[in-house]
């Protein structure tokens, strides 16, 4: 039988010979009484529902079942050390609307909000870089081309931020 020490939560093993006796935890030295395994009576359910006219004398007798000790299969593993590396930290859901609004103000902010660092930084620097290159290469008419390209990147950034937040929330489930 495996029992969690009440002081340090480490597993203490017992072959049944220490049941009901005071023992010292080998890890922390704390004293506690080794629990006695309990036997619980569980009535068996008949395979089919018996008719109501059946007499009480024909009922199936109750049987005794030995329950497993704490930490064995079928029970939560409560004898694990309490440490931050064993705890599961749930990440909150990301709002697609907030991601869209952030990308409205600057493409890439919505991706950063969702947690996509590489795509967010790429989008943040892509817009001004492409606009500057187009203006430098095309001269006077480049302003209109740069505006058109920038608007396309801006709209794509909002769309991608919204869908990235939805994808993030689907993967969390």
Whether the pLDDT of residue 80 is over 70: the answer is no
* Spatial contact of 103 and 158, defined as CB atoms under 8 Å apart: yes
Confidence of residue 10 (pLDDT cuts 50, 70, 90): confident
Strands (E) located in 15-164: 22-24, 31-33, 39-42, 63-66
Give the position of tokens 């989008």: 123
How large is the C-alpha radius of gyration of the chain?
Answer: 33
Q: Which contiguous run of DSSP H or E holds residue 147?
A: helix 142-172
The 10s digit of each residue's pLDDT in 82-95 is 444 444 456 788 99
Paired tokens of 36: 């006695």
The 10s digit of each residue's pLDDT in 30-51 is 887 878 777 656 666 665 555 5
Helix (H, G, I), strand (E, B) or coil at 3: strand
Measure the CA angle with vertex 127, ends 112 and 120; round to 5°: 15
% the chain with pLDDT above 70: 69
DSSP class of residue 98? Answer: H
Paired tokens of 169: 């929330």
Helix (H, G, I), strand (E, B) or coil at 51: coil
Give the position of tokens 């704490």: 70
Q: How far apart are CA 50 and CA 153, in angstroms?
A: 71
**What is the reported pLDDT for 84?**
45
Q: How far apart are CA 108 and CA 118, in angstroms?
A: 9
Question: CB atoms < 10 A from the CB of 155, how many?
Answer: 13
């Amino acid at each position: 039988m495996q029992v969690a020490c009440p002081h340090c939560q480490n597993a203490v093993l017992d072959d049944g010979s220490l049941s009901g006796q005071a023992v010292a935890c080998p890890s922390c030295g704390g004293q506690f009484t080794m629990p006695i395994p309990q036997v619980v009576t569980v009535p068996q359910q008949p395979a089919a529902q018996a008719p109501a006219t059946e007499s009480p004398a024909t009922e199936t007798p109750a049987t005794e079942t030995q329950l497993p000790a704490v930490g064995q299969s079928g029970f939560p593993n409560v004898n694990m050390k309490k440490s931050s590396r064993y705890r599961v930290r749930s990440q909150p859901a990301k709002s697609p609307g907030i991601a869209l609004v952030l990308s409205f103000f600057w493409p890439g902010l919505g991706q950063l909000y969702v947690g996509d660092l590489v795509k967010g930084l790429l989008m943040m620097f892509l817009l001004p870089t492409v606009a500057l290159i187009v203006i430098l290469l095309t001269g006077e008419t480049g302003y209109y081309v740069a505006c058109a390209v920038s608007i396309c990147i801006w709209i794509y950034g909002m769309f991608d931020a919204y869908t990235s937040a939805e994808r993030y929330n689907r993967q969390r489930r």
